[in-house]
């Protein structure tokens, strides 16, 4: 599956980023802790290559903690690479990321420090901004591309922080990367087939997190051997049925994806530094 999804406002966002980056001191690149590679936009490296960039692995409460530690070691052991993991809705953790960024920034202390927040849709950029400001100043939601315009907010300690729209790249490939992004919610649901994504998700969970599946779906006395059977059993038990008791695969697929995204199945990571297969420069 190759997803092509690049709305017009994202082209405008790219141009906006190029203008704003020149005026900032440092970059907070927000990544999804469950998929740090797949959620890293290659455009960020190109646009921000001369700027101090801190990688923020957000949503760590949804990610496998052992894998998150591996990712922090991976990033922080690279030359001129810095990373922290946070829950963006937690004030102390959001400020930890900002203060870490400030500590690494060289600047004239007589003026404000300017930090720009970048990342793909639905990584929690606006949530982090609201947490830092202590009030709702940016729209948030569990759908991609909520933020559409650059937003500047003045914080304490002479810090200006810029929230920017989430931006994806025109063609998402290879197939595995596209599936991971779609399952996590980074891509608009209008651009994906729920059945297709649910089959990928079911196969991934059966292989990587069978114990979490058995715990969440306690009606499974024996773990199914294939994706279709798993989805059908979940759909049957949760009332996703058509007339005659036939499982409605569409509804069952949507249910599985919703529970995955909400963390109801458990703390899951789609990637580890050891098993990523697609090329990236992060």
Question: Could you give the percent of the chain with pLDDT greater than 70?
Answer: 84
* Domain residue extents for the chain: 3-163, 172-261
Domain 172-261: give its CATH code.
1.10.1580.10
User: Of 11-15, 244-248, 268-272, which gets the smallest average pLDDT?
Assistant: 11-15
For residue 145, what pLDDT band results from cuts at 50, 70 and 90? very low
Q: What is the pLDDT of residue 55?
A: 96
* pLDDT score, position 143: 44
23 vs 12, 80, 129, CA distance in Å?
18, 21, 19
Span 176-227, pLDDT tens digits: 888 999 999 988 776 678 899 999 999 999 999 999 999 999 999 999 999 9
pLDDT of residue 20: 74
What is the dotted CATH code of the domain comprising 3-163?
3.40.50.300
Q: Which range has highest mean pLDDT (39-53, 107-121, 208-222)?
A: 208-222
Lowest mean pLDDT among 72-81, 155-164, 210-219: 155-164
Q: What is the pLDDT of residue 162?
A: 86
Residue 102 has pLDDT above 60, yes or no: yes
């Amino acid at each position: 599956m190759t997803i092509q999804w690049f709305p017009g406002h994202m082209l405008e966002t790219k141009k906006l980023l190029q203008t704003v980056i020149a005026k900032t001191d440092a970059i907070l690149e927000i990544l999804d802790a469950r998929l740090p590679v797949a959620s890293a936009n290659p455009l960020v490296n190109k646009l921000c290559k001369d700027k101090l960039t801190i990688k923020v692995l957000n949503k760590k409460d949804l990610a496998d903690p052992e894998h998150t530690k591996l990712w922090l070691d991976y990033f922080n052991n690279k030359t001129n690479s810095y990373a922290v993991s946070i829950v963006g809705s937690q004030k102390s953790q959001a400020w930890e990321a900002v203060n870490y960024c400030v500590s690494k920034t060289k600047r004239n202390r007589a003026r404000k420090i300017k930090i720009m927040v970048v990342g793909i849709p639905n990584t929690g950029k606006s949530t982090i901004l609201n947490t830092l400001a202590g009030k709702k100043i940016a729209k948030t939601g569990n759908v991609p591309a909520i933020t559409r315009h650059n937003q500047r907010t003045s914080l304490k300690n002479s810090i200006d922080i810029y929230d920017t729209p989430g931006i994806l790249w025109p063609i998402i490939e290879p197939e595995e990367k596209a599936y991971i992004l779609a399952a996590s919610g980074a891509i608009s649901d209008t651009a994906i087939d729920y059945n297709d994504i649910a089959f990928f998700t079911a196969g991934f969970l059966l292989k990587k997190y069978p114990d979490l599946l058995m715990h969440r779906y306690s009606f499974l006395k024996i773990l199914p051997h294939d994706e279709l059977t798993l989805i059908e059993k979940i759909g049957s038990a949760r009332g996703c049925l058509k007339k005659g008791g036939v499982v409605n695969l569409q509804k069952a697929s949507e249910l599985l994806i919703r529970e995955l995204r909400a963390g109801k199945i458990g703390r899951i990571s789609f990637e580890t530094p050891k098993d990523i297969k697609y090329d990236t420069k992060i």
